[in-house]
């Protein structure tokens, strides 16, 4: 079955450590996105990528980094520079008029 | 970038139609309107999308005004399982960005 897979579903890290969230899609979608969601809030765009080896900052890119070496993969690294990393992270992909989301990764930094 | 505005919350009786409005007054000609819903911090679920014509699928109907400055998502017979946060999204035609609105929390009551 085609879809978007985010892993892991829950992730715990100590403060000051970098952590990488995985997002893989087998939908042959060109564009991929990372969003952050805080409790009771909407989704805010972190980074997005339209094609391989290219990506753009969203509204809240500070403290995050991404790569797009393969069409299927768009990993997000939460660096120690991110002041409040604890949040729910969602990955999405789209092509033309289709757009689908993964089930999210809940990151807790202690 | 086109932005969307939605009411913060709405109530609807089970079995009745739920009409969720969205304002996107700065939308440009090639931008699509998408609707998603999110149930309890799962990944958002696609509902429907449209450009300028009204659309209907098995889940909902989308009514877009002639000037395209607003739209309404209609759930014809709301059930308790339709309780969720509904997001109206404008798809930027050039950059493929998915720009989320504030979302409407729909509560369906018995």
Q: What's the pLDDT tens digit per position in B48-91?
A: 999 898 999 999 999 999 999 999 999 999 999 999 999 998 87
Give φ, ψ of B81 to 5 degrees: -75, -10
Q: What's the pLDDT tens digit per position in A30-82?
A: 999 999 999 888 889 999 999 999 999 999 999 999 999 999 999 999 998 88
User: What is the predicted pLDDT for the residue at B93?
Assistant: 59
d(CA B70, CA B21): 7
User: What is the predicted pLDDT for the residue at A39?
Assistant: 85
- A56/B95 Cβ within 8 A: yes
Count interface pairs A-B at CB distance under 8 A: 58
B35 interfaces chain A, CB cutoff of 8 Å: no
The DSSP 8-state label assigned to residue A39 in this structure reads T
- Residues of chain B with Cβ-Cβ distance to A105 below 8 Å are none
Task: For CA atoms B64, B65, B68, B72, give the dihedral sign.
Answer: negative
d(CA A61, CA B43): 20
Query: Mutate which of B53, B94, B98, B104 to test chain A, going by most A C-beta atoms within 10 A?
Result: B98
- B99/A97 Cβ within 8 A: no
CB-based burial label for B29 (10 Å; 0-12, 13-18, 19+): exposed
Closest of A36, A46, A43 to residue A88, by C-alpha: A36
- The residues near B66 (Cβ < 8 Å, ≥ 6 apart) are none
Q: How many helices and strands in chain A, by DSSP H and E?
A: 0, 11
- B43/A104 Cβ within 8 A: yes
User: What is the predicted pLDDT for the residue at A90?
Assistant: 95
CA distances from B73 to A104, B21, B23, B62, B104 (A): 25, 6, 11, 5, 11
User: What is the predicted pLDDT for the residue at A41?
Assistant: 83
Average pLDDT, chain A: 92
Nearest residue, CB atoms, A100 vs list B46, B95, B101? B46
The DSSP 8-state label assigned to residue A87 in this structure reads E
8 Å CB contact between A48 and A34: yes
| A67, HSE (Cβ side, Cα atoms, 13 Å) | 7
With 70 as the cut, is the pLDDT of residue B2 above it?
no
User: What is the predicted pLDDT for the residue at B96?
Assistant: 67
């Amino acid at each position: 079955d085609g879809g978007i897979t985010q892993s892991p579903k829950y992730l715990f890290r100590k403060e000051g450590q970098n952590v990488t969230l995985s997002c893989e899609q087998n939908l042959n979608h060109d564009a991929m996105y990372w969003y952050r969601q805080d409790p009771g809030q909407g989704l805010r765009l972190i980074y997005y990528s339209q094609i391989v080896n290219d990506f753009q900052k969203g509204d809240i890119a500070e403290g995050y980094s991404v790569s797009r070496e393969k069409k299927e993969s768009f990993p997000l690294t939460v660096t120690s520079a991110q002041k409040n990393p604890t949040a729910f992270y969602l990955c999405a992909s789209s092509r033309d008029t289709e757009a689908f989301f993964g089930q999210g990764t809940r990151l807790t930094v202690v | 970038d086109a932005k969307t505005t939605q009411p913060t919350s709405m109530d609807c009786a089970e079995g009745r139609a739920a009409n969720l409005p969205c304002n996107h007054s700065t939308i440009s000609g090639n931008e699509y309107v998408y609707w998603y819903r999110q149930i309890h911090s799962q990944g958002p679920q696609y509902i429907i999308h449209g450009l300028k014509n009204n659309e209907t699928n098995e889940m909902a109907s989308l009514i877009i005004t002639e000037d395209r400055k607003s739209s309404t998502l209609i759930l014809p017979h709301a059930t308790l399982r339709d309780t969720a946060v509904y997001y109206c999204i404008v798809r930027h035609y050039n950059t493929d960005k998915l720009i989320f609105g504030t979302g409407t929390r729909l509560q369906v009551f018995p």
